[in-house]
Chain A
Amino acid sequence: MAIPNGLKTTLITLTWFPVLYSFTNHVYQPYQISGSSMTPTFNPGTSTTSKDIVLVQKYNLKSANSLHRGDIVMFRSPSNPEKILTKRIIATQGEVVRTKSPPYPKQQVTVPRNHVWVEGDNSFHSIDSNNFGPVSQGLVVGKVVFVIWPLSRFGYDGSSSSTNTSSGGLGSTNSVVNNEMNDATSIQVKRIDEF
């Protein structure tokens, strides 16, 4: 039986879709960021209101040493598993955080084992760990490595642990993250200075 050439090409192309899908699930995937909770790092809304597109790393997220303070992560919202949130890690396991209270019931909290404390860079418009508490590392689906779109801010996220330079293109928040900070109090003070 003869299969038309066009149909054959289509079928062969289709067999590559699982490979592509596995790649975006476990290696790298571009994401569009919506919302203003990570302003000014993402969606600064200054020159244009278009949404940023970022590249997200999908591997090496589950082990204890893979996430660091200052990394921007994407994770499934604890209160709605179908929703994915983007926030910055403020503290990792074992560290003590001074919370924003209210809404958080306690003034100070120690982050449990294999959990992270996450907050939005724009803390006035952010639903984050101050609302739902520390997030299990199992909910983390990816780590943002760099901005793809718009091209004017294209580049590596300077705060990411892999590059760890202060010359990144992601604006003022770098100054917070790249400072060597030894306790949670100084994080809080620094963050307030930003405004």
Chain B
Amino acid sequence: MPVPESLKFIASTLSWTLRAGCVAHLIHEFVYEFTETRGESMLPTLQRNHDYVHALKTHRLGRGLEMGDCIVAVKPSDPEHRVCKRITGMPGDIILIDPSSSSELTNTPNEIIQHDGFNKYITVPEGHVWCTGDNLCHSLDSRSYSVLPMGLITGKIVAANSMDKGFFTNFWGFRWITNSFN
């Protein structure tokens, strides 16, 4: 029985869509991604709303990353969400966890002694990084969930756009995101 021409056409369209979709997905996962970010934890580097970032996925699993790089990672306490942070400690580094927990400005004298924030250190273990948001006051980061396994890192942020700015304002507010430690 001959297959009708229209059915052949539909089947071929669907099959090519599937193949093209898989190519796009692999590029998205292993090479490059352009995606929206929200939240105030990376102010002033990234805005609270309307910001989109260019992420290089070749740096996934922490490959070739350095101190000061901006990264996208899976949130350790909730794998369905992703976070965007800056690496502030590499394996072997000794980190003062959170001196602000003993700050005179926000704590009572009793809490200052209790938290002992100026004496709590951690050595970052092999295969992990310490990461914090640029806006330390409004950031849920390594200070609460401790070191981040490199296996959770999905990419490195290299540039960003602000979509609330017009096309003529420097291509929707395009800027490179650089390593803040170099």
Contacts and interface: CB of A to CB of B under 8 A. Distances in A.
Interface of A: 15-16, 18-19, 21-22, 25, 61-63, 75-82, 112-115, 132, 136-139
B79 interface: yes
B136 interface: no
A25 B22 CA distance: 11
A82 B62 CA distance: 10
B42 to A, nearest CB: 20
Contact of B77 (A16, A78, A114, A132): A114
A22 B25 contact: yes
Nearest to A15: B19
Contacts of A77: 127, 151
Interface of B: 18-19, 22-23, 25-26, 29, 61-62, 74-80, 125-128, 149-153
B151 A22 contact: no
Contacts of A115: 76-77
The 9 closest A-B pairs by CB, nearest first: A76-B151, A138-B79, A81-B151, A138-B74, A18-B22, A79-B127, A81-B61, A136-B76, A62-B79
Given A113-B77, A114-B79, 15 more contacts: A16-B19, A18-B23, A18-B26, A21-B22, A22-B25, A63-B80, A77-B151, A79-B125, A80-B126, A80-B127, A81-B62, A81-B151, A136-B77, A138-B151, A139-B151
For B62, B76, B125, which residue has the most chain A Cβ atoms within 10 angstroms? B76
Given A18-B26, A76-B61, A139 B77 contact: no
A138 B127 contact: no
Contacts of B126: 79-80
Contact of A138 (B19, B62, B125, B152): B152
Contact of B149 (A18, A21, A63, A136): A136
B76 A114 contact: yes
B77 A112 contact: yes
A175 B62 CA distance: 40
Contacts of B127: 77-81
A51 B74 CA distance: 32
A176 B33 CA distance: 44
22 contacts: A18-B22, A18-B25, A18-B26, A19-B18, A21-B26, A22-B26, A25-B29, A61-B79, A62-B79, A75-B151, A78-B151, A79-B126, A81-B151, A112-B77, A114-B77, A136-B74, A136-B76, A136-B77, A136-B79, A137-B79, A138-B75, A139-B149
A89 B91 CA distance: 27
B152 A136 contact: yes
For B18, B22, B80, which residue has the most chain A Cβ atoms within 10 angstroms? B22
A114 B62 contact: no
